[in-house]
Amino acid sequence: MTQSVDVEVVIHGKPYTLSCQRGQEGHLRKLAEITDERVNKLWRQVGKKMVLSETKLLVMTLLMLADELFDAKSGAHAKDTGTAPPAPSPAHDPSAEDEHYANKIQSITDKIATISHKLAVPST
């Protein structure tokens, strides 16, 4: 049985407590660091010019990261640069890799939904 642990991370100046499997704390912190960098970059680019809620800023960042992941998986970047993606090894199972990435994206989506729910302000 895998034990989960809580990890404190900071994204866009706000602390969040997230759970992960024991031993994955460093990986989760790195993902939060990347997310923080992307959120802050997006905020510098458009957030100061537009009125963006924290939720919308996080969702926009998530969509940008998902787009990058999609491009990387589909070889779009390789097409743009004129280089072919590496050929899969004979033992490579694309369906297993697709499922792995789908699970990762779902996990991130679930975390964003939880954060969005916590940030939601009740309407008056």
Q: Could you tell me the pLDDT band of residue 5, with boundaries at 50, 70 and 90?
A: very high
Q: Give the per-residue pLDDT at 53.
A: 82
Strands 14-21 and 4-11: antiparallel
What predicted TM-score, i.e. pTM, was given to this entire model?
0.56
Is 11 within 8 Å of 39 (Cβ atoms)? yes
Is 12 within 8 Å of 36 (Cβ atoms)? yes
Q: Give the per-residue pLDDT at 94.
A: 60
Looking at per-residue pLDDT, the higher value among 94 and 10 belongs to 10
Q: Judge whether residue 90 has pLDDT over 90.
A: no
Q: Could you tell me the pLDDT band of residue 79, with boundaries at 50, 70 and 90?
A: low
What percentage of the chain carries pLDDT values higher than 70? Answer: 66
In this structure, of 39-43, 57-61, 111-115, the range with the lowest mean pLDDT score is: 111-115
